[in-house]
Structure 1
Amino acid sequence: MKLIQSRDNAFFKSLKRLAESGRERRKTGQTLLDGVHLVEAYEAVFGPVDSLIVAESALGGGEVAGFVQGRETVALADSLMRDLGLVDTPSGLLALVKTPRATATVNRKKDAILIDGVQDPGNVGTLLRTAAAAGIGQALLSSGCASAWSPKVLRAGQGAHFALAIHEECDLAGFMAGYEGTTAVTCLDGATSLYAARLDGPIAWVFGAEGQGVSAELIAAAQLRIRIPMPGAVESLNVAAAAAVCLFEALRRKLA
C-alpha cells in the first residue's frame, strides 16, 4: 500500500482536478465515488473500480478498513483527503471509476423524469434517487443542471445512478414534442390537483430549478399541469420533495 502525504504528488493532483472540475471529469471520462455504499453499488453493476483511495486514519479499523482488506489501495494523509473537498463529510473511502454512459437511447414510450436547470447537486442527486426508487428508468437533464456525475450528485444519489439511463445536455422540449405518453409539469397557473388528475399510461414528469421552477417553454409544452395541494402554512416544496409526492402518487395508482 502506498501512502501519499504530499500535495505535490502527481496522483493526488489528478484526484484534486477530478474533484473540482467538471471539464476534467468529461475530458478523462472518470469521476470519484465517496463511501462504501456507493462503491458497492457501482461494483455490483460494473465490476471492480479502477482505484481505491483510503484516508490514513480509516485504516485503523471500522467499515472502511474491513471493506478494503485484501484489496490494492492508495492511502492519503487525512489532511489531503480533507483538502479534496469532495463532500462535506468524507467517509474515508474514495474510488476512481470510469464514468458510466447510458447505453440505451431515450425512450419516448416509457416513464421518464426531466430535470430542467436544477443546479443544486443535492437536489439533482435526490431527484435521481427518487426516480429510481419509484421505478422510473430514465432521466433527462437540461443544460444548466448540476453535472449528474459530479461527486456531490453521486453522493446524494446513493447508487441510483447505476439503476438509471441518464442523459445530459438534453433538448427537453424536443423530447416532450415526440413523447408518446403524457407530459406533466408542476406549476400553479391553470393546474389540476395531483389527486384529481388522470395519471394513466407512461408519464414524463418535468421538475424545474430552485426558485424559478420549470421554464415557461416547458410549461407551455406540457399536456398536464399539476399542483400539489398544500393546506398548511407554506406555499411551496423543495423540488426533490415535490417530485417524491408526484412520483409516488403515480406509483400508488399503478399498484392499486
Structure 2
Amino acid sequence: MKFISSRDNPGFKRLRALLDDARMRRTERASIIDGEHLLQAALDADWPIRQLLLREDVLESAVVADVLQRLKNVDPELPVLVMAPALFNALSPVLTPTGMLAEIALPSVLAEDSGAGDVLALAGVQDAGNLGSLLRTAVAAGVTRVWLDAQTTQAWSPKALRAGMGAQFCLAIEEGCDLLPRLTGSSRPVLVTSLGPASVSLYALDLRQPNIWVFGAEGQGVPAVLQALAQHRVRIPMPGKIESLNVGAAAAVCLFEQVRQREVAA
C-alpha cells in the first residue's frame, strides 16, 4: 500500500482530473467508481481495475478485506493508495463518501454488432443521471448495445456510473456515434418516440423482433432528421393530464412492453 498525504501529490491531482474532466477521461481511457456496489459489479464483470483508493479509517473493515481479497486474486500487484479521511473526502464525488474508490479502464475494443440484438440509440441526452438510468433500464430489458451520439453526455462520468449501478459493465457502449448512417437502411426496425400526428400507439406494434430504439434529449426529443428514418414513430398512450414523460421513464415503458410481448410469445 502507498500512502498519499497531500493534495499536491501528482497522483492525487491526476485522480481529481479524472473525476472532473471528461477530456481527461477520454485521453487516459479511465474513470473513477465509488463504493462497494460498483466495485463488486466491476469485479463480477471481470472489468479491468487499475488501482484501489481507500480512506485510512476503513482499512480494517470486513468489506474492504473482502474487496482486497478479490482484487488480489485477479491481480496480486494491483496498486492500493491510502489517504487520510480529509484528503479522501476531498477527492470523493459523493456527499457521504464510503471510503472506497477505484480507477477503472475504459473499453477500447467492443464486440462486433451482429445485427441480431436490440440497440438503444440516444441523441443529445445531456443529463448524466438520466443517462445512467437509461443504461440500467437497457440492461434490465435485455439490451446489450448502446449508441450515443456526440451530443450525449459521457457514459463513463462518475455521476453516470453511479446512476447506472453497474450497467456500463454489461453493455457494449459506442460513444460519439453518427446516428444518421447507422439508422439509414438498417436491417432492424428503427423506432422513435414522438408525439406527432403520425405516431402509432406503442401497444399497437409488434415488438418481438430485434429493434433499434431511438430516444432524444430531455427537452427537444429526437431530431427530425432521425425521426424521418424511423419505420415507426411511437406514442406512449397517456390518458392523464401530462404531455410527456421523462426520457428515462419513456424508455422503460417502451423497452418493457417489448419484454412483455416476447415473454407472451415464448
Query: TM-score, structure 2 length as denominator?
Result: 0.89
1:21 aligned partner, one-letter code:
D
- Asked if the contact 2:47/2:169 (under 8 Å) is kept, the reply is no
Whether contact under 8 Å (2:133, 2:164) holds in the other structure is: yes
State the alpha-carbon separation in 1 of the partners of residues 189 and 205 from structure 2.
12
Q: Among all aligned residue pairs of Structure 1 and Structure 2, give the percentage whose two residues are the same amino acid.
A: 47
1:95 counterpart residue number:
102
Is 2:242 the counterpart of 1:234? yes
Task: After TM superposition, list the pairs within 5 Å mapping 1:120-131 onto structure 2.
Answer: 120-131=127-138
Note the C-alpha offset of 1:211: 0.9
**AA matched with 1:195:** Y
Structure 1 stretches of 4+ moved >4 Å:
69-72
**1:165 corresponds to 2:172:** yes
5+ unaligned residues in a row in structure 1: which ranges?
Answer: none
**In structure 1, what is the Cα distance between the partners aligned to 2:47 and 2:258?**
34
Indicate which of 167, 176, 183 corresponds to 1:176: 183
Q: Is the 8 A contact 1:5 1:77 kept in 2?
A: yes
Give the superposition deviation at 1:157: 1.1
1:51 match: 51
User: In the alignment, is the contact (CA less than 8 A) between 1:181 and 1:204 conserved in 2?
Assistant: yes
* Alpha-carbon separation, structure 2, partners of 1:245 and 1:47: 30
Q: What is the alpha-carbon root mean square deviation over aligned residues?
A: 2.0
- CA offsets 1:121-151 (integer angstroms, 9 cap, x no match): 1111111111111111100000011111111
Equivalent AA in structure 1 for residue 56 of structure 2: E
Secondary structure at 1:195's aligned position in 2? helix
**Cα separation, 2, equivalents of 1:222 and 1:89:** 44
Letter in 2 for 1:166: I
The answer to whether structure 1 residue 132 and structure 2 residue 139 are counterparts is yes
1:204 corresponding residue in structure 2: 212
**What residue in structure 1 maps to residue 76 of structure 2?**
none
Please, what TM-score do these two structures have when normalized by structure 1? 0.92
Distance 1:99 1:217, change over 3 A: same
Q: Which residue of 1 aligns with 2:18?
A: 18
State the 1:89 CA deviation.
4.1
Residue 92 of structure 2 contacts residue 101 of structure 2 at CA under 8 Å; is this kept in 1?
no
Asked if structure 1 preserves the Cα contact closer than 8 Å seen for 2:207 and 2:258, the reply is yes
Any stretches of 5+ residues in structure 2 without a counterpart? 73-78
The C-alpha deviation readout for 1:18-72, integer Å capped at 9, x for no partner, is: 1111111111121111111211222223356221101233335363455336966
AA matched with 2:159: K
- Maintained 8 Å contact 2:48/2:105: no
